[in-house]
Amino acid sequence: MPEMQVKEEPEEPEPESDPVEVPPGVVLDKLEALVTSGKVLLRFQPAGSKGWGINGRVAGQWCSFKADAAGVCEFVDDTVWLTEGSGEWAESELEWLERLQKQAFDVPCTPAAQPTALRPRLCRRAAFTYHKAEFAKQRQARAKAKAQAAKAQEAGAASPAKAAAGVQAAPPVAKPALTKVAGVPPAKPAVPVGKTPASPAKRPAVVQTPAKQPAATAAPAKAAEVKLAPVAKSPAPPGSPRPPSSPPPAAA
């Protein structure tokens, strides 16, 4: 993009204009029109100074406003309008000025010297110089952000490749050496997975014989086979009746 250049113009003579002192309301009304509907607005704030000013175009004409540290306000269009110090203003006029000043603080600001609207060429040059510098700052910021984004993208793409190379180049893990200790038998290898250990040798079956029970006692003799000895009858006492004798058995 080609660099923009300002066409050099001869210095214009500043026209002579005697300031016209007016009430604060006249200047504040013109300032309100500049702040609310002006174009190409640019605020001027000298470093270390309480004074401030603003330039812009209203209805195709350059206008300028300036307030010094003492509160004297000056508005220039095709005439120089001047007020007395703000110490003589009414309370409502001071509040009006404060409100317009807050609105003017939203306008781009530069510490450069403020030209008067009686020299519109200088007003135009001041606005062009400011916006040209701001455009250059924004372009540099965009270029810097773009370079940082590209650098971050390259670093992000290189990180996976380095990680993969590190994994491939990693040396194999060395197995720890086994040290044999004298007098200690080597450990038996573990049973492989999936194989069951051999069953122990079968022992001969032991046949258990039941214990002998004592012989049953001899059966008692049959009652029919046992013959009791006859019991001798004692003689009856004298004088007692004798039992009747049994009749003799009948002849067969």
Instruction: Using DSSP bridges, classify how beta strands 61-67 and 73-76 pair: parallel, antiparallel or unpaired.
Output: antiparallel
Q: Tokens 């194999």 label which residue?
A: 172
Write the DSSP string, 76-109. Answer: ESSSEEE---GGGS-HHHHHHHHHHHHHHTTS-E
Q: Read off the pLDDT of residues 56-70 as tens digits, 9 standing for 90 and up.
A: 999 999 999 999 998
Cα–Cα distance for residue pair 175/145, rounded to 1 Å: 51
> For the chain, what are the domain ranges?
20-135
CA dihedral 100, 36, 126, 54 (to 10 degrees): -20
Range of lowest pLDDT (32-41, 92-101, 137-146, 213-222): 213-222
Cα–Cα distance for residue pair 8/11, rounded to 1 Å: 9
What angle do the packed helices 91-104 and 24-37 form, to 10 degrees?
A: 20
Continuous segment of H or E residues that includes residue 219: none
pTM: 0.53
User: Averaged over 11-37, what is the pLDDT?
Assistant: 86
More confident call, 10 vs 54: 54
Counting beta carbons within 10 angstroms of the beta carbon of residue 58, is it exposed (0 to 12), middle (13 to 18) or buried (19 or more)?
middle
Counting beta carbons within 10 angstroms of the beta carbon of residue 117, is it exposed (0 to 12), middle (13 to 18) or buried (19 or more)?
buried
